[in-house]
Structure 1
Amino acid sequence: MTVTSGEEEGAVGGVQIQHRSRMVLPDFLQSVNLKYVKLGYHYLISNLVTLFLVPLILVTLIQVFQTTDIDHLRHLWLHLQYNLLTILTCSAVLVFGLTLYAVTRPRAVYLLDSACFRPADHLKAPFRSFMDHSRLTGDFEDSSLEFQRKILERSGLGEETYVPEAMHSIPPQPSMAAARAEAEQVMFGALDKLFQGTNIKPKDIGILIVNCSLFNPTPSLSAMIVNKYKLRGNIRSFNLGGMGCSAGVIAVDLAKDLLQVHRNTYAVVVSTENITQNWYFGNKKSMLIPNCLFRVGCSALLLSNKPADRRRAKYRLVHVVRTHRGADDKAFRCVYQEQDDAGKTGVSLSKDLMAIAGGALKTNITTLGPLVLPIRL
């Protein structure tokens, strides 16, 4: 900010005050947007080989044309005329190679838009309301209530998270009908917003992938969406269950592979979790943690492999790296659905969860790093 120099004079209590403001030079260092510096550096390093080769090729061509006279070029043309078969063979091989490359090269996958469902305000569950409802159910001991209160305070959740309609009742009513109602509300809400924002007709969707770990009814959640929006009969629909918090990335990876096979189509990926039938009403602490962490929500992604969508796409999918630690027993049981001693079903989170997740993340980043770093060895 620049301040204009000048003088201001005034009298306060008979005392004359003189204020001088000096010229402040702009801070050019802060005015530089480091994002563009980083972007320029990335482009420079990524295209370093091209920047060296292009001038070298130009200099070589100039030298060739300067040292070659017209007679040499005429003799070369006559030689090519008498070797027409060789030229045709080379041309055919070149055309075949270019065609093979165009057919087999990976198709670009674009993210056109995304949408998230936001529930109604009456479904909000601030901390005080959450604790009052937990106390009124009569299922939790005092130590369990205190444990949940501490988890809420340290979880990082805000006061504007949501729980499903059935959990606002006293006592709660976790029925199959209520669970279906929750699933329909969140999925259809996110998809309505997605279709409205992109002006894509549901009939244009060729691939549908839904992931929800703990609620997998029959008909499936993907079938519920097909029925609601009357999607076309040859749609490729998939319903992923029991795959935990990584199901969203797994679904995107599956959509990417399918878009490599099926040309000029759209893929929708819906990610959600159902709370109604998976609330834990026991007193085992490791199974109480999900009550404090998981809330109502749903997201929907619209992916495309159409070249015409490149201009309006928000992102292009470049790499998907998956790391599976299921072969390790501790990793396999770190998030485990089971029954406690009283026969109440819930999801248990192991105390080793953070260490196991950190190890998986380290392996994943080690694999992903060489793919995205500007200098590749």
Structure 2
Amino acid sequence: MGNENKQNQDKEPNSTKLKYVKLGFHYLISNALYLFLVPLTIALSHLSVEEFIHLFHHIKLNLVVVILCTMLTFILTTFYLMSRPKQVYLLDFACYKPDSSLICKRETFIKKTRLVGVFTEESLAFQKKILERSGYGEKTYVCKALLDLPVRNLCLEEARKEAEMVIFGAVDQLLAKTGVKSKDIGILVLNCSLLNPTPSLSAMIVNRYKLRGNISCYNLSGMGCSAGLVSIDLAKRLLQVRPNSYALVVSMESLTLAGYDGNVRSMLIPNCLFRMGSAAILLTNRSSDRHCSKYQLVHALRTHKGADDRGYNCVFQKEDINNRLGVALSKDLLPVAGEGLTNNFTTLGPLVLPLSEQILFLVNFMGRKVFKMKIKQYVPDFKLAFEHFCIHAGGRAVLDELEKSLGLSEWHMEPSRMTLYRFGNTSSSSLWYELAYTEAKGRIKKGDRAWQIAFGSGFKCNSVVWRALRTINSANEKHNPWIDEIDSFPIHVPEVAPIDC
């Protein structure tokens, strides 16, 4: 024991030294331009008046060349400004917080599951075990139809009522916060994976808010928990061709018709993990709205693993042998998610990481692949690129793995873990509850970068990067779903062996 302590003490100073060496290297590379300009400026400052006059006369003798260079610079600058993508801003967003009458405690869930009368004792015990290890608190929400005793009215009409409640609740808040009139919205994108009625849910929004007739309207279904960022990417692309427009993005999931009433274990997990919620986001490309917007969209990156059979089948809606419909989760889900995340991170890294991290990654890659050196793969430090992380609250196992692989602290993981605890897995809208948590804590400062990471069926892994345009004052966030209880967070969640979707 004494030798082990001595070894640990010897390792700690070395690791600390390595940390500071790396930090110094990062600052050296990041400020290389300034380090070059300072000596140049000092050298120019030592030029005499006569030397400046001589330089001026030399330029005067080559006036034609100067004029041509100026014209060429002007033309190239104009071409660059006209060809560059339009900037997209996030004016504001709203997350729906259901009424307290829709809270479903763990005891309530297990009691109502038993009263359904179709589950075996083994299935009931399995669902109870999942719920106990989910990382959920006692205040997550489900739809009214699932709280009835016995459970009944699981029909399309009830599903529409649920959709209207969560969608209109979020959109009403958003329009009230921004003051934007519904007739000014030119683009509408809604995503909901498991409920796809006719007329569509997006048409339901158009009808409720009397949106204009030439609106670009899209309804995305079947795209899983990553659909929220798919919607953001689609809206961004549409804003490139619709000048001076507002784009309304709505992310939600329906629970009423999504339940599985069979006894196949792989299809029982979604019953326990999904909870009710929604988010509405308002994007714009109007430069005049930049000063009142919260964030600027910096990057939107999508990675699709659907060409791989394992990725395609790891989250699959199907019927069991008794023709009961449900969503099956494969054992390949976590490995496939890991591969998708790795591919996404590898593509995103060069776009966001400082040059110092890219050099270290390249040197490590060359050593392993070219020189066949037996060294550990270098994982870039994404904390140098982002101040805030919003990772889809799909389950504890994924959050634990990402915390470990990205080297994140408890502070960085807090928004995701507390969202999982307080609201559960609300599918595609969970990222916005996480960003709302960060705002309610008063952590968003002007210039901060936030990274939203989502993954879902298909299999897809998507990333969106935002830059804060102003410091968010939590006192002004009256419609924030966390604001009434934010002082009680974070809450310690006991560690248990997780079971995830």
Same fold (TM over 0.5): yes
Going from structure 1 to structure 2, the CA distance change for 1:338 and 1:44 (only over 3 Å counts) comes to same
Partners of 2:342 and 2:243 in 1: CA distance: 35
Q: Distance in 2 between matches of 1:326 and 1:56?
A: 53
Asked whether the equivalents of residues 42 and 374 of structure 1 are also in contact (C-alpha less than 8 Å), the reply is no
Identity %: 49
Amino acid at match of 2:250: V
What does residue 136 of structure 1 align with? 115
Structure with higher Rg: it is 1
| Aligned counterpart in structure 2 of residue 153 of structure 1, from 128, 132, 138 | 132
Alignment match, 1:55: 38
Task: Give the equivalent residue in structure 2 for 1:204.
Answer: 184
Residue deviations 1:170-212, cap 9 Å, x none?
2321111111111111000001111111222222222111111
Q: How far apart are residue 44 of structure 1 and its match?
A: 6.0
Tell me how far apart the structure 1 counterparts of residues 45 and 69 of structure 2 sit (CA, whole Å). Answer: 26
Name the CA distance, whole Å, in 2 between partners of 1:69 and 1:136: 91
Matching residue within 35, 48, 51 for 1:68: 51
- Matched AA of 2:165: Q
Partner of 1:298: 278
- AA aligned to 1:328 is D
Of 104, 120, 126 in structure 1, the residue corresponding to residue 99 of structure 2 is 120
1:111 to 87, 90, 112: 90
Asked if 1:97 is matched to 2:76, the reply is yes
The verdict on how the C-alpha distance between 1:326 and 1:78 changes in structure 2, with shifts beyond 3 A counting, is: closer
Distance apart, 1:107 and its partner CA = 2.3
1:272 aligns with 2:255: no
Q: Provide the residue aligned with 2:324 in structure 1.
A: 344
SS class of match (2:219): strand
Q: Secondary structure at the match of 1:319?
A: strand
Q: Which moved more, 1:110-119 or 1:91-100?
A: 91-100
Rounded to whole Å, the distance in 1 between the matches of 2:287 and 2:32 is 27
The aligned runs of 1:67-86 (5 Å cut-off) are: 67-68=50-51, 70=53, 73-74=56-57, 76-77=59-60, 80=63, 83=64
Distance 2:329 2:28 in 1: 44
**Distance (whole Å) between structure 1 residues aligned to residue 200 and residue 62 of structure 2:** 70
Deviation at 1:67, TM superposition (A): 4.9
Corresponding residue SS for 1:179: helix
1:12-67 per-residue CA deviation (whole Å, 9 max, x = no partner) reads xxxxxxxxxxxxxxxxxxxxxxxxxxxx9999668624424543553465466645
How far off its partner does 1:277 sit? 1.0
Distance 1:93 1:171, change over 3 A: same
Q: 1:69 to 1:243 in 2, by over 3 A?
A: closer
Q: Unaligned 5+ residue runs, structure 2?
A: 1-22, 360-501
- Aligned length in residues: 334
Q: TM-score, normalised by structure 2?
A: 0.62
Amino acid in the other structure paired with 1:55 = V
> What is the alpha-carbon distance in structure 2 between the residues aligned to residue 69 and residue 272 of structure 1?
66
Q: Secondary structure at the match of 2:132?
A: helix
Cα gap change, 1:41/1:306 in structure 2, threshold over 3 Å: closer, same or farther? farther
- Aligned with 2:237 (options 223, 245, 257): 257
For normalisation by structure 1, the TM-score amounts to 0.81
Q: Any conservation in 2 of the 1:137–1:172 contact (CA below 8 Å)?
A: no
Amino acid of the structure 1 residue aligned with 2:193: S
Shift of 1:69: 6.4
